[in-house]
Chains A and B, each alone.
Chain A
Amino acid sequence: MPWRLLKIGLRGAHKEPRFFPEPADLRDSYDVVIIGGGGHGLACAYYLATRHGIRNVAVLEQGYIGGGNTGRNTTIVRSNYLTPDGVRFYDASVRMFQRLSQELDINLFYSTRGHYTLAHSDEAMRTMRWRAEVNRHLDVDSQVVDRDAVGRGIPGLDLDCGGSQPVMGALYHAPGAVVRHDAVAWGYARAATNNGVEVHQKTRVTGMQVENGRVCGVATDRGNIRCGAVVSMVAGSTPRITEMAGLSTPIEIFPLQACVTEPVKPFLDTIVVSGSLHVYVSQSSRGELVMGASVDPAVLHSTRSSFEFVEGLADRIVDLFPFTARLRINRQWAGMSDMTPDFAPIMGTTPVSGFYLDAGWGTWGFKATPISGSTMADTVANNRNHELIEPFRFDRFADFQLVGEKGAASVGH
């Protein structure tokens, strides 16, 4: 290694392989076009190439990879959901995440922290018991813990929350983790490119060609592309794409904001969510407190952050962790969440043949990156929904077969 370093020092680094190779020219035809270079789109491309031998694939990204919600989320990975369909699906994702650094040969800083969902009322305790039972039934490690255990597990927490909403207990989920979000996008992008996929950044899809109920191409700001299949993986831009395909969906876009404090000494090694106080917090490996809440109150297609958000969040986080009153907020930002009425995603085939949808990821889709990529790749390769995503199918609303995950996803993402 030192010799190589010396050689590079003398000769310059221009001949060294780059993390991402120079992209090829955009061609006018591909087998599969994936719209959206977030984690989901890049993972799908990677699994299409590696598991299904479909390599004539282009990922089209209007900005830069990971610049959407993938690079804006608070990186929580967990599987303590409420419905058996959801638990099974997210658990498969957690298991993939645990092996992903090795598979993609990149350090994702995957860090298992444990995850507390605090309950401040009898109703909340009931939901926690419900979730714990469903989780354990499906072999997912979740348990209800009492107030004392919460006090022992979370340093700095005021169990009485300033007196207004005392903590009664919590759902504790040991596998809960955080992981470096950008690295997930970069790792999948590099692995996909190494397997023959083309990733085109700064390439925006502006239209879709549908003939006789079949998709046959997309229009972009760099020219038209013919293709056999289109997969939309654009999270907060989904309604704009489904409109191009002539489809109505229940998806509405709400901004979701987050912020970090200045870094402090590591003290919090676990993830804490309070549904009643509408806040959640974890400490990053740099020492910042990463904090978030529920979505903004009204529909808006915007990534502007607001003072009202930090003001409201600060008010409540000080009740949970009184010492945070002395901390300063360093940064805040927002993403556009594609919300569904049942807080579950919409995945798989659609009424337009050859057009596949992976959307409705709202505030909870980062943890699903590996499993969405792999099940969507399987769905595209076989033109039928993978069994794990069948409950999340496009027409579940027309059939009144909703997958109610609100109790596990509205505040804790």
Chain B
Amino acid sequence: MQQLDCPIIGRRPISEFVYGGEVRRPPPGDAPLADVADHAFNRTGQPTVLREWWFHRPTGRWFVLERNTLSNVVERVVPPQEVAYAIPTL
């Protein structure tokens, strides 16, 4: 079985994780409705290296991985700081 190697928890079988989908930047609060719909529904559908959320069920921790969705190879585990700093603040 495929294993994911994440900070703190180490190598764990992928069956312990729940897929959280693509990381997408939320639009600002006053964004036009079209941008809100785009954020809510549209996704990067084509094969690529995708930044995505993975939830580790036993420990209740979220991780962000960069995974090639054609080869299923995890290319990078994104440090939490990098994710946190990317979230827009007011």
Q: List residues of A whose CB falls within 8 A of some B CB.
A: 238-240, 242-243, 248-253, 297-302, 307-308, 338, 341, 397-400
Given A298-B19, A299-B50, is A397 in contact with B70 using a C-beta cutoff of 8 Å? no
B19 — nearest CB in chain A belongs to which residue? A298
Is there a chain A Cβ closer than 8 Å to B72's Cβ?
A: yes
Contact between A250 and B72, CB atoms less than 8 A apart: no
| Contact status A240-B46, CB under 8 Å | yes
Cβ-defined contact, B45 with A400, below 8 A: no
B residues near A (Cβ < 8 Å) are 1, 14-15, 18-19, 21-22, 34, 37-38, 40-47, 50, 52, 69-70, 72
Residues of B with C-beta under 8 A to A243? 45-46
Tell me whether A397 and B42 are in contact in the complex, defined as CB-CB below 8 angstroms, given that A297-B18, A298-B19, A302-B72 are known contacts.
Answer: yes
Q: Contacts A308-B15, A398-B34 hold; do A250 and B41 have CB atoms under 8 A apart?
A: yes
Determine whether the beta carbon of A398 is less than 8 Å from that of B45: no
**Contact yes or no, B46 A300, CB < 8 A:** no
> Could you write out 25 A-B pairs with CB less than 8 Å apart?
A239-B45, A239-B46, A240-B47, A243-B45, A243-B46, A249-B45, A250-B41, A250-B42, A250-B43, A251-B43, A251-B45, A252-B45, A297-B18, A298-B52, A299-B21, A299-B22, A300-B69, A300-B72, A301-B70, A308-B15, A397-B37, A397-B40, A397-B41, A398-B34, A399-B37
Interface of B is mostly: mixed
* Residues of A close to B38: CB separation below 8 A: 248, 398
Shortest CB-to-CB span from B58 to chain A, Å, is 16
Q: Name, among B18, B19, B41, B45, the residue most crowded by chain A CB atoms within 10 Å (CB to CB).
A: B45
A155 → B minimal CB distance (Å)? 33
Residues on A with C-beta less than 8 A from B34 are 398
Chain A residues lying within 8 Å of B44, measured Cβ to Cβ, are 239
Residue of A nearest to B43 (CB): A252
Q: Chain A contacts of B46 at CB under 8 A?
A: 239-240, 243
Which residue of chain A lies nearest to B13 when distances are taken between CB atoms in the complex? A308
Query: Nearest Cβ in chain B — how far from A251, in angstroms?
Result: 5
Chain A residue contacts of B43, Cβ below 8 A: 249-252
Of the candidates A248, A249, A302, A338, the one whose C-beta lies within 8 Å of that of B70 is: A302
| Chain B residues with CB under 8 A of A248 | 38, 42
**A239-B44, A338-B45 known; 18 other A-B pairs, CB under 8 Å?**
A243-B45, A248-B38, A248-B42, A249-B42, A250-B41, A251-B43, A252-B21, A252-B22, A253-B69, A298-B19, A299-B22, A299-B69, A300-B69, A301-B47, A302-B70, A307-B1, A397-B37, A398-B34
Query: What CA separation (Å) do A345 and B45 show in the bound complex?
Result: 15
Which of chain B's residues have a CB closer than 8 A to the CB of A249?
42-43, 45
